[in-house]
């Protein structure tokens, strides 16, 4: 944890000195030093960042801040590589740029995508230049499915859209082909709507997995009221006929789609590419927010995405400056004194591991179990960045368990968190609380907690985890909470009386 937080602090300071939004595809290779220092590639996804030296911050040009040249970029027959997007926090995606406006987007463990510019042609591949899928992608009987009788189980027509082009997998190429502009997207990853909203690209989403009025985005709800976006079924049971008839050029899914592999296969059989969003796998909170740059590349608005992300970084940088320069012995030390990831904290008390104010982040489920975050999750990282100390900083759980949470018996939670200075109740799953009495109804033992007795109980808004671009604001909220301000202008936290 310490190593990650210290590195993040250095990167944020670097951002403050040399941050500038530059359209990625407009920068020439000559402007980027080929000898840029890079972290090694992991599982096909480069870290995409030059690492600051511990004894100083390297000087970078405006161009170097946003792009760099990597020697192991994907070689695509017929295309000439230019540069790659430089990432400072995210490690679940990469973006490579090629001459002519082509882009190669890779998502760790889910798939690679070749983005063809508008009026562009496919490079050398097994697909014909018009981009249509070969007949081999049709059902075994070789017939185009009937759209007149969808209830009989036959598939809708998959004959291409009005322009005659259909996105789809390039057989044998190792990537999926997408054609720009992407202007008819089926969005089944609800948190991704936040990126479209911030980039003012909601009009690109024409097919929704939510009913009208269910989105946390006013823009999305308005689009559904006006008919620009229509309901097309949940991720697990999409309306295939509607999706195909609307000329869908991309289905954007969360990893929940892996519980319904037949749905993904069906969409792909219709020639509709499926992109599985992976931002929730980022352990760095700003890594989640940095996915706005992935969507900027996908939607051809990199400059806007860079500007928005720079603003998020700046908010966190200001928090780091305040906590490190406030003079409070407990503030700012969230960047120091923490055990590094993988180090055993056994034998140390919480006070010895971190002098910061102790924060417990939790919710209580219907079975009375207390759900808390593992130490390596992004929520503990936000608490550390805000100047606090996560009360379960030694809770790692089973390595083979990919879940970011652990369920504890109330008695164990009591033993470990009763002396926490602050309690933050997570409203996302179990619903919000509006009074301390309501919290005590869920767990009577909580009445003996220090935070309850001192009036330091807080709750998150229910929209929080649908707002990956709001994580910087949550860090600001937590920092303000730790300062003792109960009446400030909070974005995603509120005090519980």
* β-pair type (168-169, 176-179): antiparallel
Give, to the nearest 10 degrees, the angle between helix 302-325 and helix 2-18. 120
Q: How far apart are CA 110 and CA 261, in angstroms?
A: 13
Burial of 451 (0-12, 13-18, 19+ CB in 10 A): buried
CB–CB of 129/166 below 8 Å? no
Q: Yes or no: say if 224 and 212 are a contact pair by the CB < 8 Å rule.
A: yes
**Of 75, 72, 76, the residue nearest 46 (C-alpha):** 72
Query: Edge-to-edge, what's the strand order for the sheet holding 67-68?
Result: 67-68, 81-85, 93-98, 102-107, 111-116, 176-179, 168-169
Q: Model pTM?
A: 0.76
Q: What is the side-by-side strand order in the sheet with 205-208?
A: 230-231, 205-208, 185-187, 250-253, 274-276
As a whole number of angstroms, the distance between CA 373 and CA 379 comes to 7
Q: Where are the domains of the chain?
A: 1-106+285-317, 326-495
Domain 326-495: CATH superfamily, name plus number: Nitrogenase molybdenum iron protein domain (3.40.50.1980)
* Phi, psi values for residue 313, rounded to 5°: -60, -40
Tens digits of pLDDT across the chain (497 residues): 444 444 454 444 444 434 433 333 322 222 223 323 333 343 445 544 433 333 333 344 555 568 999 999 999 999 999 999 999 999 999 999 999 999 999 999 999 999 999 999 998 754 545 554 444 343 454 443 443 333 434 334 433 333 334 444 443 468 999 999 999 999 999 999 999 999 999 999 999 999 999 998 999 999 999 999 999 999 999 999 999 999 999 999 999 999 999 999 999 999 999 999 999 999 999 999 999 999 999 999 999 999 999 999 999 999 999 887 543 433 333 333 332 333 333 333 333 333 589 999 999 999 999 999 999 999 999 999 999 999 999 887 655 445 789 999 999 999 999 999 999 999 988 789 999 999 999 999 999 999 999 999 999 998 787 899 999 999 999 999 999 999 889 999 999 99
| Token reading at 33 | 């030093």
Contact 295, 275 (CB under 8 A): no
Rounded Cα–Cα distance for residues 385 and 20 (Å): 23
């Amino acid at each position: 944890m310490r190593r990650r937080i210290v590195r993040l602090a250095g990167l944020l300071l670097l951002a403050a000195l040399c941050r500038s939004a530059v359209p990625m595809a407009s920068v020439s290779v000559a402007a980027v030093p080929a000898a840029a220092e890079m972290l090694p590639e992991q599982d096909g996804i480069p870290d995409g960042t030059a690492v600051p030296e511990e004894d100083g911050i390297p000087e970078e040009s405006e161009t170097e801040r946003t792009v760099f040249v990597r020697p192991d970029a994907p070689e695509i027959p017929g295309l000439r590589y230019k540069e790659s997007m430089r990432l400072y926090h995210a490690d679940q995606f990469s973006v490579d740029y090629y001459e002519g406006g082509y882009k190669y987007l890779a998502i760790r463990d889910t798939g690679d995508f070749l983005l063809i510019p508008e009026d562009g042609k496919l490079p050398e591949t097994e697909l014909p230049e018009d981009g249509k899928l070969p007949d081999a992608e049709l059902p075994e009987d070789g017939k185009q499915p009937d759209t007149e009788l969808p209830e009989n189980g036959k598939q809708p027509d998959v004959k291409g859209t009005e322009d005659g082009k259909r996105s789809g997998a390039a057989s044998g190429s190792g990537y999926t082909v997408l054609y720009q502009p992407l202007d008819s997207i089926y969005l089944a990853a609800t948190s991704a709507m936040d990126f479209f909203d911030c980039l003012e690209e909601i009009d690109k989403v024409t097919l929704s997995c939510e009913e009208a009025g269910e989105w946390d985005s006013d823009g999305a709800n308005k689009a559904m009221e006006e008919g620009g976006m229509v309901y097309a079924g949940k991720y697990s049971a999409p309306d295939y006929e509607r999706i195909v008839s609307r000329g869908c050029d991309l289905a954007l899914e969360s990893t929940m789609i892996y519980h319904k592999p037949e749905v993904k296969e069906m969409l792909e059989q219709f020639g509709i590419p499926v992109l599985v969003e992976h931002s929730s796998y980022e352990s760095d909170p700003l890594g989640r927010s940095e996915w706005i740059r992935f969507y900027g590349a996908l939607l051809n608005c990199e400059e806007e995405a860079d500007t928005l992300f720079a603003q998020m970084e700046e908010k966190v940088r200001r928090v780091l400056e305040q906590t490190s320069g406030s003079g409070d012995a407990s503030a700012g030390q969230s960047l120091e004194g923490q055990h590094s990831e993988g180090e055993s904290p056994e034998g140390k008390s919480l006070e010895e591991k971190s002098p910061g104010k102790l924060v417990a982040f939790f919710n209580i489920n219907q079975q009375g179990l207390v759900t808390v975050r593992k130490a390596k999750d992004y929520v503990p990282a936000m608490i550390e960045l805000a100047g606090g100390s996560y009360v379960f900083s030694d809770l790692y759980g089973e390595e083979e368990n990919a879940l970011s949470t652990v369920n504890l018996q109330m008695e164990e939670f009591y033993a470990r968190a009763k002396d926490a200075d602050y309690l933050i109740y997570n409203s996302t799953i179990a619903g919000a609380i509006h009074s301390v009495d309501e919290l005590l109804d869920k767990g009577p033992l909580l009445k003996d907690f220090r935070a309850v007795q001192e009036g330091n109980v807080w709750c998150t808004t229910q929209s929080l985890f649908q707002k990956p671009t709001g994580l910087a604001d949550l860090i600001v909220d937590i920092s303000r909470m730790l300062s003792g301000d109960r009446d400030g202008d909070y974005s995603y936290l509120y005090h519980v009386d």
